[in-house]
Structure 1
Amino acid sequence: MSQILLVQSSSNLGSSVSRDLSEGFVRDYQAAHPGATVTRRDLVSNPVPHLGVDLLGAMFGKPEALDEAQVAALAISNTLIDEIAAASLIVMGVPMYNFSIPSALKAWIDHVVRAGRTFEYTANGPKGLVTGKKLVLFLASGGVYSDGPFKPYDFQQTYLRTIFGFIGITDVTIIRAEGLAFGGDKAAGAIAEARVQTTAITA
């Protein structure tokens, strides 16, 4: 039985393309795979704290020396990592904000990219510990960044591939909806094409 982790990061709770596409994919996937269950992690409706002194201290401190605030901070990180560990399929809705990812998603990443839990240092360098999982990223942007003059500005797709690869998740499918700020047929066509790609990978 598949366990899906759906992570949402768009601050647009009313008409988000990344939310709509990722939710649609999960619905279709469940229809095609009866018994698949979903854990939803909405980083806007239920934000996680940004990396602060308590979590930083807990990450590098001795377990027996942690204070109450550090223990509480580490518990949040452990919960988020456990959600990843339990999932066979991770689905993420990610809008582009200022050429990169939302700060709410960066906060989540800072909780889950953790030495000893999701990666380890070896004699041959860092080694990812989160393996055997599939990641589907639904990326939405106002402009076009997959190709053309603004491709060098894309710190959304490049960062996500790098950081998830670092912890061992290398089976990554990316579905983009680009040029949404152009509106009209351009935006509608981008969304329609993303939905076609979504249908193709549902099975």
Structure 2
Amino acid sequence: MTTILHIDSSARPGRSGEQAHGSHTRRLTARFIERYRQFDSRTEVIYRDVGAVPPSPVTGGWVHAAFTPPAAREPWMVEALAQSDALVDEVLAADIIVAGVPMYNFGPPAQFKAWLDNIVRVGRTFGFDRSRAGEPYWPLLADAGKQLVILSSRGDYGYGPGQRLEGINHVEGSVRSVFRYLGVTHAYDAAVEYDEFGDERLLRSLADAESATDRIAQVIASVRTRRHAA
């Protein structure tokens, strides 16, 4: 059984191609799920729409609670971490994390950043011990075999590696960095560009992103099949 955590974070409801002004990232994440299931029918999907229902942002009380040992937490601390615990449980249960992350002002949407902040949890997704020799922080998901797929969209074009706007693309790199910190190092991405132009270049970019999404689904399914057969 493969478990996929499917995250959508676009503020746009609906999917492009199905609804006027629908989301390209919602379109791509749904396509990934559909394609992956063609290769692996025994797939369970956990769905979380942080675009429609954003997680609460981290507060000072949240931080205090998170860094308090579980056995010493007061009732208010348990309550403060309840939503975060649920989000972390979903990440821990997932073999594949598929995140639709559109570019908003050169970075991820605030609602997706809030989700990231809630899943970076001491003692659950990363370890910390100030008395530990060498590095006091270490990833707790490193041996879990998890894989990350980032499906993005942007209004302009040229944000890819070596392209004109690479230096101000803070979407894929920032998301990869957070997951690498937690120990998830196998990551893939695809993106739609030219949304603000709305011409044939957008249509070509959509087609290319869909093809890339299909390839990623096939590659991950093949990797998982070989791993289970070994």
TM-score range, shorter chain: over 0.9
Change (3 A) 1:46 1:88: same
2:109 corresponding residue in structure 1: 102
Q: Quote the Cα distance in structure 2 between the aligned partners of 1:47 and 1:71.
A: 20
Please point out which of 205, 208, 216 is paired with 1:190. 205
How many residues align structurally?
A: 203
Partners of 2:153 and 2:191 within 8 A in 1: yes
- For structure 1, the residue ranges without an aligned partner over 5 or more in a row are none
- 2:213 corresponds to 1:202: no
Kindly state the Cα deviation for residue 187 of structure 1 after the two structures are TM-superposed.
0.7
Kindly state the Cα deviation for residue 45 of structure 1 after the two structures are TM-superposed.
2.1
Kindly state the Cα deviation for residue 181 of structure 1 after the two structures are TM-superposed.
1.5
Kindly state the Cα deviation for residue 41 of structure 1 after the two structures are TM-superposed.
0.7
Query: 1:134 corresponds to which letter in structure 2?
Result: Q
Q: Quote the Cα distance in structure 1 between the aligned partners of 2:34 and 2:102.
A: 20
1:130 corresponding residue in structure 2: 141
Percentage of pairs with the same residue: 33
Matches within 5 A, 1:1-150: 1-14=1-14, 15-121=22-128, 122-125=132-135, 126-131=137-142, 132-144=145-157, 145-146=159-160, 147-150=162-165
1:179 corresponding residue in structure 2: 194
Q: Quote the Cα distance in structure 1 between the aligned partners of 2:77 and 2:53.
A: 20
Q: Quote the Cα distance in structure 2 between the aligned partners of 1:195 and 1:89.
A: 18
Q: Quote the Cα distance in structure 2 between the aligned partners of 1:201 and 1:56.
A: 36
- 2:194 corresponds to 1:166: no
Q: TM-score when scaled to structure 2?
A: 0.83
Deviations 1:117-169 (A, max 9, x none): 11113533222111310111101111121143321111111111111101001
Query: 2:126 corresponds to which letter in structure 1?
Result: F
Task: Return structure 1 stretches of 4+ with deviation > 6 angstroms.
Answer: none
Q: Quote the Cα distance in structure 2 between the aligned partners of 1:85 and 1:66.
A: 22
Deviates more, 1:144-153 or 1:87-96: 144-153
Query: 1:130 corresponds to which letter in structure 2?
Result: L
- For structure 2, the residue ranges without an aligned partner over 5 or more in a row are 15-21, 219-230
Q: Quote the Cα distance in structure 1 between the aligned partners of 2:121 and 2:133.
A: 18
2:222 corresponding residue in structure 1: none
Kindly state the Cα deviation for residue 175 of structure 1 after the two structures are TM-superposed.
0.8
Deviates more, 1:122-131 or 1:193-202: 122-131
Partners of 1:180 and 1:190 within 8 A in 2: no
Change (3 A) 1:143 1:124: farther
